[in-house]
Structure 1
Amino acid sequence: MDTTTPAQRGARGRNRRGQGERLREEIIEAALRLLDELADDQALSLRAVAREIGIAATSVYIHFADRDALVLAAMERCHTDLIDSIDRAEAESEDPAAKLRARVLLQGKWAYEHAGLYKVLHESTLNQRTRMPFKTVLGERTTAAIQRCMDAGLAPAGDAAAVSLDLRAAVHGAVSMRLNSADLPMPPLEEQVDRFLVKLVGLSPTTG
């Protein structure tokens, strides 16, 4: 996602006819930058988003009825970008266990590196008030990745969906502890992920 600021990009010109979609994308990108800094959907204002890209606040309302609508669109974009990154990481290996490890590790690292977006995606008031059906994709793909390990004989046969839920809960907890308890000594995330894969999925310690 674009992390440049208006000052870095230079003064923006008025959108020409037919460029409304481009402006909508710029608004979403600006919201993502601010949400990652704020880590709180309630702290975001449409006026701040407008200032970020040098437009009038009324231009934001043309595309988004309110703050919730903008945050929801930003979270969906954030989720889509994360899935694309995970797919690229998985594609680097043919081994099902290595693919699963790459998937889980990238999710954990992304959450730690984008703490603000992670909190809005999972711990925000919007998350509590509004359904985000797009978030089911990550869970479904993790379940499918675990099932492939089971089918290949790399993990014990079982309920892949239940194992997936346990694994995602463990990674979520590991990330949350790092974000919310900075003074707590923690091992490298890679070591924890490897232990989760062994203890929860049943992969061999030497697999992946």
Structure 2
Amino acid sequence: METRKEILELRERLDKTLACSDLADEGSLRSLVKNQILESSLPGSDQGNIDLIAEARAKEVSNFLEMLDTSGNERPSDIRGPQQKEWKVKQDTDQLRVMYREGPDGTPFHTLLAEGFADGPIDVCTCVSWESGLYRKWFPQYNLPTFKIAQSGCLKKIRIGEEISLIRVKVPWPVSEREALLHYFQFEYLKEDLVIVIMKTVRRYPIWIISVCRHMDLL
């Protein structure tokens, strides 16, 4: 009962954080993202078009925050695109809450949201998703059926809090090994103790990098 109460309090706190004007307003969020990119840039690195990069990352952050907002309140942001439908709860326990919603009208998309809680320091919780090089140390490894992290590690450090990594996994026969290039972006809003890590696959990336990585020991 006490655990359930704590979970409800955490959800309420997150909903209040997501309603902050800094995160809901298009201009404010883009400014926060741009400032973080400028402050986290590596010495001597090519920054490219900061405004375009900040706009793209701000859209990703806004979409992610909108997905986390399961309170039913409309976030007045113009960044995230078409209005999404409401979440429907499919399972809600002390360990996990699973929710579902259909995509915008006219699209074939459906979304599942699995929400859990980790009781630990924020730096440890962040590293679980962020430190790809440590995946083999904590991710469950199975022999039957086979599922193992065969290789994981950083390929390119773009800036502090942003990188491209390679993940390769062994899966049950007759499926061969699967690998993916992942782009990580970390956004911090410490005013409300919010740190998020957005992880997505890289679609258009030079194929030679994948080929070269097959012969590299990334750890």
TM over 0.5: no
Taking structure 2 as the reference length, the TM-score comes to 0.24
Higher relative contact order (CA 8 A, sep 6+): 1
Please state which structure has a larger fraction of its residues in helix.
1
Taking structure 1 as the reference length, the TM-score comes to 0.25
